[in-house]
Amino acid sequence: MSERPDAIVSIRNLSKSYRRGNQVLPVLTGISFDIARGEFVALMGPSGSGKSTLLNLIAGIDSADSGSIKVAGVEITGLSENELARWRAHSVGFIFQFYNLIPVLTAFENVELPLLLTSLSRRERREHVEAVLSVVGLADRMDHYPSQLSGGQQQRVAIARAVVTDPEILVADEPTGDLDRASAEEILRLMDRLVHELGKTIIMVTHDPRAAEKAHLIRHLEKGELSES
């Protein structure tokens, strides 16, 4: 299988298994596919099909048994822990199902977190944070703590945190899974804007067919194998 010329993510023969005692449980078996720059891809499949594992591997927070993962031209399977941390800091934005905001930090400080790892000055960091919080519509809530925000607002803060470093790709694991319908719609619209207005590439794991409908491409994972719909 040859690589697409516009691919930002290129996966070849990727395999991953987990060990439970003496038993080896294969999760992904020889998966190969590409994701084009600016594409919004939804990964669907039943529980235990390996969707989140695949997402974690693409995001560099888990390691594959074999195969290759190239993101924006960087082969990440051979990187060390520290190299992966550095790479993640500027190349990947994360959106989690339960937002994963730090409860003792305000919305502003949560969004500022990834920028602390850059060489930006305090003033520049402030400008960046204010800009992205405006994009997600929370400019007036930046001094609020996560506990003072609704679920939808917390997820918007998480999205602001994900895009504040202007990463190549965004990975989202069930981003609407913990939200009511209206908030979920709001988040999906925001993600759609990120793709269309900012040209971001989004890979989203979801169980929700209505969320998946927003994607350009839906890929199904079942028993460790991938199919397209």
Q: What residues make contact with another protein under the rule CB under 8 A?
A: 53, 56, 59, 61-62, 81-82, 85-86, 88-90, 94, 96-98, 100, 102-105, 109, 112-114, 116-117, 161
Q: How far is Cα 28 from Cα 71, in angstroms, rounded to an integer?
A: 19
Q: How far apart are CA 149 and CA 152, in angstroms?
A: 8
Asked if 203 contacts 10 with a C-beta cutoff of 8 angstroms, the reply is no
Residue 98 Cβ vs another protein, minimum distance, rounded to whole Å: 5
CB of 205 to another protein, least distance (A): 13
Find the DSSP H helices in the chain. Answer: 51-58, 81-91, 107-112, 122-135, 151-163, 181-198, 209-212
Nearer to another protein, 163 or 218 (CB): 163
State in angstroms the smallest separation of the CB of 96 from another protein. 7
* Closer residue to another protein, CB minimum distance, 7 or 129: 129
* Nearest Cα residue to 200 out of 69, 91, 110: 91
Nearer to another protein, 36 or 61 (CB): 61
Cβ atoms of residues 148 and 123 within 8 Å: no
7 vs 92, beta carbon nearer another protein: 92
Q: What minimum distance in Å lies between the beta carbon of 76 and another protein?
A: 13
